[in-house]
Amino acid sequence: MVITIKELAAICGADILGGNPEQTIHSAANLDEASTHQLTFLGNAKYAGKLKTTQASAVLAPQTTPEGAVNVDTCLLRVADPEMAFIACLNRLYPQKVGSGALNPKAHIDPTARLGADTCVEAFASIGARATLGRNCWVMAGCRIGDGVALGNNCVLHPNVVLYDGVRLGDNVIVHAGAVIGSDGFGYKLRNGAHIKFPQVGTVVIESNVEIGANTCIDRAALGETRVGEGTKIDNLVQVAHNVRIGAHSLLCGQVGIGGSTVINDYVTLAAQCGVADHVAIGAYALVFAQSGVTKNIADKDQVMGFPAVNRKEWLREKAALRHLADNQKELGELVRLLPKLQDKAPDE
């Protein structure tokens, strides 16, 4: 979308200094990559030196930025929060696609399913018996919505998403391509040399404003429900096992794996490739660093890393001690090498 700098400033409440406010903006880019007719922003003061060299037509920057910080051809747009202002402008420059509100004749919709107003179902999607979809949902090509599934309003299912029978989604849920929600949990009992499946008869509940990445899998509960709380964001390739309960506004980064019946409280961050054992609890606002292995409960606001995961400061002390031990081992080896010579020089008794 093409829009003037003046219009963008109005969207984000920016003060305009210098440049030509009537110039048009066609797209956005980073500070050091932007060119004419592009918008950029200064999100970190350490990059302020790039303001003079950027070729962008407009720059969003903090209100304390002096007028002369940019070149004469660039509009300086001063705002309280450049990142949030940039997001608002991006949403205008790159408006999200919306569903057509039509039901493609190549989709299969069970006669007992109920669809809200302006809901779009694309070709080769399949909606099962007694499923209910709210208003303005968008089910893209190749999705499978099972029997008795319930979607709130404004949900978006990208291509080839699978929602097993009985899964429930709140409002404004986004599920990216290839994700599977509600497949059987991994539950078996060993008897007489064979693994006997424990029937997985629970469900999955995804609360409102959750976003789930591509090829992520969230298993249904053995009994009861697996639940993902309000506003939580889950990256690609994440595995959430049966009966896991994830609180509100947590972040699960790529390739995280969570064992069964674990509780993740509100505002937890699990960085990339973390592994969390079953039946543990992670406290609110806790941070688990990348590639850590959580094997026991973590307190609220704690920051842990390593395997088994321990408090970050403790882990760093242990690493420092290991390095010191390695240095001492070298010195000890040198002493052992010199010992025969020292014995030869020792005075006879």
Catalytic residue among 158, 242, 279, 324: 242
Torsion 205-209-210-214 (CA) sign: positive
- Concerning whether 242 is annotated as a catalytic residue, the answer is yes
Q: Radius of gyration over alpha carbons of the chain, in Å?
A: 28
User: Cα–Cα distance between 199 and 176 in angstroms, integer?
Assistant: 28
Helices and strands in the chain: count of H runs, count of E runs = 3, 39
Query: What does the H/E/C string look like for 123-162?
Result: CCCEECCCCEECCCCEECCCCEECCCCEECCCCEECCCCE
Q: Using alpha carbons only, give the angle 252, 173, 206 rounded to the nearest 5 degrees.
A: 65
Q: Which residues are 184's β-sheet partners?
A: none
Report the SS3 class of residue 310. strand
Residues pairing with 173 in the sheet? none
Q: Which two tokens stand for residue 149?
A: 């599934």
What does the alpha-carbon distance between residue 192 and residue 265 come to, in Å, rounded to a whole number?
38
Q: Are 21 and 75 in contact (CB under 8 A)?
A: yes
Angstrom distance (rounded) from CA 28 to CA 76: 15
Classify 172 as helix, strand or coil: coil
Which residues partner with 58 through β-bridges? 39, 75
Which residues are catalytic, by number?
242
